[in-house]
Amino acid sequence: MRRILLAALLCAWVAGAIAFGSMDHALRAPRDLVRPVALPFLWRSLADAAERSDPAEAYQCAQRLLAATPGWADGHAVFAFRYALLGGATVLDPDARAIAAKDRLLVALAVMEDARASCGPKEAALLADMAWLVELAVRNEPGIAPLLDPDPAILADRLLAEAESHGGGRMVREKRLYDVPRLCAALLRAGDRRSALALLDEAAARCAQSGIEELAGEWRATLLATRTLLSGEGPANPTLRDQQKADPRLEALAPFLR
């Protein structure tokens, strides 16, 4: 019965879009409707693959799951972040854990690399997200660093340089710090609070190292205040919450600032 109702709803949605809007909207509508219904199952499938510690299986799983959402750069990034950062068995010895974490990172980057072809103008943002993933993976499991070739810092820098040449512009390294709320919100929508908080920590650290007064001062403080609200640490602060929600730069995160 559920399937029949969903199919009827999709048909009605498409028919209405064709009657009152463009064909492009009609084709996007069912995909947009299905996403919130399907995504919890898709993330669960990828998590199951991660728990089985089979990189080949995980890569194939991610390709099948993401084929239904071409061009959805944030969705591809979230899948990759969740697989790379949340998978793995903590009972492994440090060396084995680092090798498994490296394998997960390489699979996640491969998935994001494949997604580039369908992301259009969002390609530069996806490349910047790939750089964030490299940096967060090393923060999450430092043992990865000596296993990667090239070095993580060089790899992240190459990804950012490529983002510059694919529409990101000369200020891509600074712009990605201001773009953190967008990726952070995507992770929170997927229920991945841990990775969202880790991203804010890493971004704050990068701001401090930027040598740019505005980034190292005001924007870093804004990111750290946002982290405090999202983490629930410390007493409730309605004044800070309202101030952050009113900041247009944090618009994507407003629903999560309670």
- Tens of pLDDT along the chain (258 residues) come to 433 333 333 333 233 332 333 333 333 333 443 344 455 565 566 666 656 656 666 666 666 666 655 556 687 788 889 888 886 655 678 899 899 899 989 989 998 998 888 888 889 999 999 999 999 999 999 999 999 999 999 999 999 999 999 888 889 999 999 999 999 999 998 888 999 999 999 999 999 999 999 999 999 999 999 999 999 887 888 899 999 999 999 999 999 987
Task: Find the angle CA(246)-CA(247)-CA(249) to the nearest 5 degrees.
Answer: 145
For residue 15, give both structure tokens.
């028919």
Q: How far apart are CA 79 and CA 187, in angstroms?
A: 9
Q: How far apart are CA 255 and CA 257, in angstroms?
A: 6
Task: Find the angle CA(90)-CA(91)-CA(92) to the nearest 5 degrees.
Answer: 90
Contact 215, 174 (CB under 8 A): yes
- Give residues with Cβ within 8 angstroms of 150, minimum separation 6: 158
Q: How far apart are CA 81 and CA 225, in angstroms?
A: 23
**So what's the pLDDT on residue 232?**
85
The whole-model pTM stands at 0.76
